[in-house]
Structure 1
Amino acid sequence: MSYFDDIYTRLFGKGKSPTQILVNEMIKRSQSFVRRFQAWKTSDYCAEFLNDLWQSYFWRKQGVDKDPQILLLESTYSNGFAINYEAKYGKNNFHYLFDYLADQVKKLDYRLVLSRHTMREKGDVVESKEMHYLKPRRGQVEPIDQKYGNVQIEYIEENDQPTRIKLIANSYPDRKYKQADNFEDLAQYIFSIKSKQ
């Protein structure tokens, strides 16, 4: 390090370490993953986990924290939730939940626009993120039914350990769209056992 670099570092500190992209690709599931995922969807564990998540979401809306903890995002045009990973869920179960949420949204006449996996090195942390981006199928007649808005679902790992799943619905404020449907109805549907068929 030169003398001037040393002075600069003392005055201003070190800059943020650059982020290096290691992977940027479309998500492709193996046949064995798909088979395990299909079995998981019909398991008792899945039914119980979804019920627990719905109860937690419902009570969190009332201001009461339940296990598993759900964090809520509520604003005028963006609504969603985040579920932080706990070891008791199991890494595979948590990962299946990510794909399950996308499957549930697709049943509401949504189309999957993008499924992408990125991996970045941020200092000593390697962040892996999988993202499903879904849009409602819509006609050309205005006002357009935007349903719940565009839905983005993320599954995030740090150093090969799950950290969280986020689901966010972003609606359009434009007059050519109908007002977005109530996000709570979407949450109830995707966590509903009846909607699995």
Structure 2
Amino acid sequence: MTFFNKLFQEILGCNKKSNFEDKGLLLKENIKHSQIFLNNYNEWLGKEMHHDILQYFYQLWAHILKHKAAEVNLYLHESNLSNGFYFRAETRWNSEDYCFFIHYITEKLQARNYTLNHATREVIEEGGLLKTIELFYLKPSLEFRKTAPFEQFFGNIEIQHRMVNGETTIVKLVANTYSDRRYKKAYDFEDLMNFIFVL
């Protein structure tokens, strides 16, 4: 395991255990978007405000493919069965933009035969700061689990949205795949990145 991959796991929680365990949760709830959120999201989408963020991060991704050691605001995690990225929030977008961006990704995946298995929000107070982590976990629809070998598409996908005092700090996405005979070969992670970021 490379130093960065170890750091990715330890700091951002690639394991299944919540980083907020044993820290005194103030709130833990399922996320169910209100009609107001959905109306605002549709307005954001209708004004094509998603184009800017998608194009920006696709440019970062394309740059990393050409220059592996490039220092840009997109950090990759790569292993045989788990691949992902995270980026730190930039001031050109606010927390609402990032919420809509994540909702856009989940909608695209659901249109590609994925099911939103669960979506949760946890809030703690630590060091005078209000820290929030939103987790979205998507899996291929059950209809593709009827007969082996099962279709896994891009794998099981976990998206994390981290905020401090209501402001986004980090967005992370990880795709976890299986290698045993019960599953078909997963699509390449590069295919997932193109699927998400290409308009």
> Normalising to structure 2: TM-score of the pair?
0.81
- Note if contact 2:159-2:174 (Cα within 8 Å) is conserved in structure 1: yes
Match of 1:3 in 2: none
Partner of 1:82: 86
Separation in structure 2 between the aligned mates of residue 74 and residue 62 of structure 1, nearest angstrom: 16
Gapped regions of structure 1 (runs ≥ 5): 1-17
Aligned residue for 1:174?
Answer: 180
Q: Distance in 2 between matches of 1:108 and 1:27?
A: 21
The match for 1:127 is: 131
| 1:148 maps onto 2:154 in alignment | yes
1:41 corresponds to which of 38, 41, 45: 45
Identify the residue that residue 50 of structure 1 maps to in structure 2. Answer: 54
Asked if the contact 2:137–2:158 (Cα under 8 Å) also holds between the matched residues in 1, the reply is: yes
Deviation per residue, 1:150-197 (Å, 9 max, x gap): 00111110222210111110001222111211111111111121xxxx
Query: How many residue pairs align between the two structures?
Result: 175
Equivalent position SS for 1:187:
helix
2: CA distance, partners of 1:144 / 1:81: 26
- Between the two proteins, what is the percent identity of the paired residues? 29
Equivalent in the alignment of 1:183? 189
Tell me the CA shift for residue 66 of structure 1. 7.7
Q: Does the 8 Å contact 1:19/1:123 carry over to 2?
A: no
- Conserved? CA contact 2:156–2:175, under 8 Å: yes
Equivalent residue for 1:104?
108
Cα gap change, 1:48 to 1:21, in 2 (>3 Å): same
Q: Which structure would you say has the larger Rg?
A: 1
Q: Can you list the C-alpha shifts for 1:14-50, whole angstroms capped at 9, x where unaligned? A: xxxx611111101121211111111112323311221
Deviations 1:70-99 (A, max 9, x none): 111111101111121011112221221111
